[in-house]
Amino acid sequence: MSLSAELRDALASLARTPRLLLALDFDGTMAPIVSRAGDARPLPRSAAALQAFTELPGTTTALISGRALASLREVAAPPAPTLLVGSHGAESWWGPDSPPLELTPEQLASLARARAVVAEAVQRFPGTVAEQKPAGVVLHYRLAAEFDARAAVAHVNAALDGQPGVHLSTGKMVREISVVKADKGESLAALRDFSGATAVFFAGDDVTDEHAFAALRPGDLGIKVGPGQTAAAHRIGSPDELPDVLEFLLASRRTFLATP
């Protein structure tokens, strides 16, 4: 990939910030989208760049994903210093002292109801799959025929939309239900405060990443991966192009940090 002059200038400027937060979505950003979520793996050059950023002073790395934390750890194998946000912000790991997620009795009851509804949809409509999360459940319909996918989503919407304490959102070929209201924008803002970042880099591909792009400030840099409307100032075509971006930023930051 040949980076545009505009993107190169923006990356070079970002590299000179005193404290950088490098935050990445995983699926569709660090890793190509696959049919089975458990098969996803980061592209080797993106993984190597993330590792290299963790070794730089004044630099904090983070993954912000819709996956549950356990799933994110399994497929991403993030380097130890990397901060983790899972389930779109319902779960987080910012170090050994991070408290575990605890649901109220009301949230547990809502979660049981949501899981039952999605289980019924999966039973009725071939090709749909349920993914369980600590604070929610996801209906995947990437492998379903169009009629079954639409019917499954309609079934879930009819049963759960508007229910107190239940939050529905849409991603790429998924309908997600959570009993904890959170989004990637809130998570990115919290990570900024936690790390003391003076500027933020964020890359993501899904509609759920738009919350994070909307949370960026002047001096930050957002990159949309793939097609679709976005609030990000820059765009690349696919996860295959992200390594060039990360490696350019990495080289620019190393130069800045080595300059007396």
| Residue 26 in this model has a pLDDT that exceeds 70 | yes
- 96 CB-near residues (< 8 Å, 6+ apart): none
Q: What is the pLDDT of residues 165-218, one digit of tens each?
A: 899 988 888 999 999 988 999 999 999 999 999 999 999 999 999 999 999 999
Query: Which structural domains are found in the chain, ordered by start?
Result: 5-100+182-258 (3.40.50.1000), 105-178 (3.30.70)
Taking a C-beta distance cutoff of 8 angstroms, is the pair 82, 62 a contact?
yes
Residue-by-residue DSSP string for 79-138: -TT-EEEEGGGTEEESSTTPPPP---HHHHHHHHHHHHHHHHHHHHSTT-EEEEETTEEE
Distance (Å, whole) CA 227 – CA 230: 9
Distance of CA 144 to the CA centre of its chain: 24
For residue 16, give the nearest of 248, 217, 255 by alpha carbon. Answer: 255
pLDDT at 96: 86
| Residue 116 in this model has a pLDDT that exceeds 90 | yes
Residue 178 DSSP symbol: E
CA atoms within 13 A on the CB side of 255: 12
Residue 31 DSSP symbol: B
Distance (Å, whole) CA 121 – CA 141: 10
| Residue 1 in this model has a pLDDT that exceeds 70 | no
pLDDT at 35: 81
| Residue showing tokens 């760049």 | 49
Distance (Å, whole) CA 260 – CA 253: 13
Which amino acid, one-letter code, is at 218? P
- Name the average pLDDT for the chain: 94
